[in-house]
């Protein structure tokens, strides 16, 4: 046990390892006197025993999206899967996760021991501004259904995907994992942000009541092959890539929406995928963890646009439409916790990852989401 007294922000942490033992729920009622007490148990808590040292059966929701395809690549092409493991990548065609009946059915069908939960209604700044209610309702339904279905099939681990947009708009920097609920998020995407925040509440509640070790990761701005390159509704980097590609084809200026001054930390989808596997296997906390490049690697939107221009070899004029919203100016995140737990991880340099993404988009233009 590691105990920090005199500070409510320090957690008591205990890791218990059991081999063929069911852990009494009454034990956890004694071990969980307050929300500042975090326990992860590598033992099965329900009626279905799972060999903790045996091969995993991993169900990935949102398995055909940006991060899902990256995880599939790491598992299948980089030897990320271990012997005997089974990986199932779900798409929206397999089940409507906003419907509890369909969600329960697909979980009962596959009986996963581990879940990576990526499925969500997502979009860029302007789509969020138009549809905050839809982002709130749809994501709340999805997350509640997935976590409850995981509990019902006695899944050992769930790792859900959050976003740095969940953090308070008015805050100090860098932001870290302890600051999620310290104030309202930016007004532009409050529906999505609050829905994602509630996953952290879900995880803590399942842990308190059932001893579940469900957790969440908080990546910064993700980009890579298989992204959504839609100019109107996509995120900033794939949108810039698509606009620059069209401008190059048409011989027209590249128009960047906003002033170009906001700053972002970008993480390559394949790096995030590798970190997801590490979290699934090695990170045994309910508390979420930020997955990000360092603060020193933050770039402005103007710098990102210039990098896209370089990667695509764009030779035209670049202008900035300042009538468009900039959104949140910055959301600089600390990766100190990640470095503490996984100090040897190496991120792909931003320009190298961006060049690979641009090359993929050009080569797959006809089939890319856009």
State how far the Cα of 258 lies from the Cα of 325, in Å rounded to an integer. 6
Phi, psi of 102 (to 5 degrees): -70, -40
Helix 301-312 / helix 236-250 crossing angle, nearest 10 deg:
40
Residue ranges in the chain assigned as alpha helix (H): 25-31, 66-77, 100-110, 125-130, 132-152, 190-210, 236-250, 269-282, 301-312, 336-341, 350-363
Cβ-proximal residues to 327 (8 Å cutoff; 6+ apart), any chain: 125, 186, 188, 189, 258, 262
**CA distances from residue 137 to 120, 133, 203, 363 in whole angstroms, order as listed:** 11, 6, 19, 36
Catalytic residue (one of 141, 190, 192, 283): 192
State how far the Cα of 76 lies from the Cα of 105, in Å rounded to an integer. 26
State how far the Cα of 74 lies from the Cα of 79, in Å rounded to an integer. 7
| Residues 163 and 320: beta-carbon distance below 8 Å | no
Strand ranges across the sheet with 57-61? 86-89, 57-61, 114-117, 157-161, 213-219, 289-291
Active site residue 192: yes
The position carrying tokens 């963890």 is 289
**Catalytically annotated residues:** 192
């Amino acid at each position: 046990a590691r105990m920090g007294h005199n500070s409510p922000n320090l957690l008591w942490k205990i890791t218990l390892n059991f081999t063929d033992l069911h852990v009494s729920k009454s034990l956890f009622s004694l071990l969980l006197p307050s929300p500042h007490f975090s326990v992860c148990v590598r033992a099965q808590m329900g009626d279905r025993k799972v060999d903790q040292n045996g091969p995993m059966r991993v169900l990935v929701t949102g398995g055909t999206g940006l991060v899902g395809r990256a995880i599939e690549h790491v598992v299948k092409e980089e030897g990320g899967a271990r012997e005997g493991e089974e990986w199932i990548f779900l798409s929206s065609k397999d089940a409507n996760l906003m419907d509890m009946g369909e969600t329960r059915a697909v979980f009962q069908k596959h009986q996963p021991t581990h879940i990576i939960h990526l499925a969500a209604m997502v979009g860029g700044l302007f789509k969020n501004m138009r549809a905050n209610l839809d982002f709130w309702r749809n994501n709340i339904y999805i997350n509640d259904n997935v976590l409850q279905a995981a509990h019902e099939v006695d899944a050992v681990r769930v790792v859900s995907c959050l976003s740095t947009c969940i953090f308070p708009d008015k805050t100090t920097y860098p932001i870290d994992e302890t600051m999620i609920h310290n104030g309202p998020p930016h007004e532009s995407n409050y529906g999505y942000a609050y829905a994602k925040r509630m996953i952290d509440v879900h995880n803590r509640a399942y842990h308190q009541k059932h001893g579940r070790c469900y957790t969440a990761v908080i990546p910064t701005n993700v980009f890579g092959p298989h992204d959504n390159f839609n100019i109107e509704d996509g995120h900033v980097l794939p949108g810039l890539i698509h606009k620059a590609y069209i401008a190059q084809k048409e011989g027209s200026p590249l128009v960047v929406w906003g002033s170009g001054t906001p700053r972002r930390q970008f993480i390559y989808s394949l790096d995030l995928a590798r970190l997801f596997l590490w979290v699934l296997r090695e990170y045994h906390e309910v508390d979420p963890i930020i997955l990000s490049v360092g603060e020193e690697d933050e770039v402005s939107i103007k710098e990102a646009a210039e990098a896209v221009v370089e990667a695509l070899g764009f030779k035209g004029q670049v202008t900035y439409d300042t009538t468009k919203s900039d959104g949140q100016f910055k959301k600089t995140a600390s990766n100190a916790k990640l470095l503490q737990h996984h100090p040897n991880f190496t991120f792909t340099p931003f320009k190298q990852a961006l060049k690979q993404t641009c090359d993929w988009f050009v080569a797959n233009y006809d089939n890319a989401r856009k």
